[in-house]
A = this chain, B = another copy of it.
Amino acid sequence: MSSLPETAHRVLAETLGQLVLVRLRGGKSLRGKLKSFDMHLNLVLDEAEELMGDGKWRKLGTVLIRGDNVLMLSPIT
């Protein structure tokens, strides 16, 4: 994966510093402030939280996510 479509890049760039919901392969969901990203969807989230089985969010702090685990990503508006 050598690039992201231009619109994808713009979606990410416009979301920097804002809340984003990230779904991972295997079922985990994380949310946090998008601090950085690259074309592989390697992500750094600040004030990240992970959705637990009971529907609550557990605080994780800063998280670096390896891009090939990312299923999809949505800005939270």
Interface set of A (CB-CB < 8 Å, partner B)? 1, 3-8, 11-12, 24-26, 28, 30, 35-38, 40-44, 48, 60-77
Are B26 and A8 touching (Cβ within 8 A)? no
- Complex CA gap A3/B2 in Å reads 11
Q: A3-B38, A11-B44 are in contact. Are A72 and B64 (CB under 8 A)?
A: yes
Q: Is the CB of B77 within 8 A of A72?
A: no
Q: Which residues of B contact A48 (CB under 8 A)?
A: 74
Q: For A70, give the chain B residue with the smallest CB separation.
A: B66
Q: A63-B73, A65-B71 are in contact. List 19 more A-B contacts (CB 8 A).
A: A1-B66, A1-B67, A1-B68, A5-B37, A5-B44, A6-B36, A8-B44, A11-B62, A11-B64, A12-B64, A28-B71, A61-B75, A61-B76, A62-B75, A63-B72, A63-B74, A64-B73, A65-B72, A66-B72
